[in-house]
Amino acid sequence: MARYHNIVILTGAGLSAESGLSTFRDKGGIWAKYDYRDVATPEGFRANPALVHDFYNQRRRDHADVHPNAAHIALARLEREHRGSVDIITQNIDALHEAAGSQNLIHMHGELLKALCTHCGERNAWTGDMNLDTRCPNCGRSGGMRPDVVWFGEMPYEMERIYMLLAAADLFISIGTSGNVYPAAGFVAEARSAGAHTLELNLEPSEGATLFHEARYGAATKIVPAVVDELLAARN
Ligand code: APR
Ligand code: ZN
């Protein structure tokens, strides 16, 4: 493994799979049980807010008993010990990167454990259930609270900062994502055109597999710690 300075890492649901959180497109995944149009679009929320609140209430409850796995922990170690920069762009709305100790983190699809008030725009940490009667802690009004999660058709967060990071990267690693959803699926091409070496770590080849210079396939808790060890060994 060569020496790199600015490492940018994109993570997806496959990273949290071994922590017990379902992925979206694997067999039995979330989109096999729910139609994303009903629970992950603004239109779906308008049409049936109670269904959407139930969907995220259940995911918050599931989140209470899960812990970061060896892959999350290895990425936090890389950030601590690497001599250059390590930035994680996650598509995941869980809080497992934070729980493992990662700090340079962008939640481009928002966060499950955050609430957004559509009346006053205030964001608050939120671990409990939410429904139409829930009052905003800031403006006190009800009927306007929603998960602070980016739905299909909405603009992901911090895109400007993301493209700056990709332009400065000399190593781009994609972990546990199927490469189905843009703009995240386009990040490898951005990094490549900036001259970065690109590496895919996944259970199986993703939709964008051919865009990567290098790939390793296997369970994240096995292949991610191994790559982190190699990157840290290369700095000596
Ligand atoms: N280790 C490594 N990779 C794994 C593991 C594992 N243990 N388990 C599954 N994977 C891989 C699968 O092979 C798949 O390629 O993780 C990927 C998960 O793909 P998706 O379920 O499509 O999840 P993701 O790519 O994160 O979805 C992107 O789509 O629905 C939206 O907003 C949602 O952020 C999500 C986005
Ligand atoms: Zn409010």
- Kindly give, in sequence order, each residue whose CB lies less than 8 Å from that of residue 236, ignoring residues fewer than 6 positions away: none
Query: pLDDT, tens digit, for every residue of 108-165?
Result: 999 999 999 999 999 999 999 999 999 999 999 999 999 999 999 999 999 999 999 9
Global confidence as pTM? 0.98
Other C-beta atoms closer than 10 Å to the C-beta of 43 total 12
pLDDT tens, residue by residue, 205-218? 999 999 999 999 99
CA of 177 to the centre of ligand 1 (A): 4
Sort residue 218 into left (φ over 0), alpha (ψ -120 to 50) or beta: left
97 is catalytic: no
Q: Is 14 in the pocket of ligand 1 (CB under 6 A)?
A: yes
With beta carbons less than 8 A apart as the criterion, state whether 84 and 7 touch: yes
Tell me how far apart the alpha carbons of residues 204 and 150 are, in angstroms, rounded to a whole number.
26
Mean pLDDT of 5-31: 97
29-53 pLDDT per residue, tens: 999 999 999 999 999 999 999 999 9
Catalytic residue among 109, 119, 197, 213: 109
In the predicted model, what is the mean pLDDT of residues 88-110? 98
Instruction: Tell me the CA–centroid distance for residue 140 and ligand 2, in Å.
Output: 6
Residue 114 main-chain phi, psi, to 5 deg: -135, 145
Burial class (CB in 10 A: 0-12, 13-18, 19+), 83: exposed
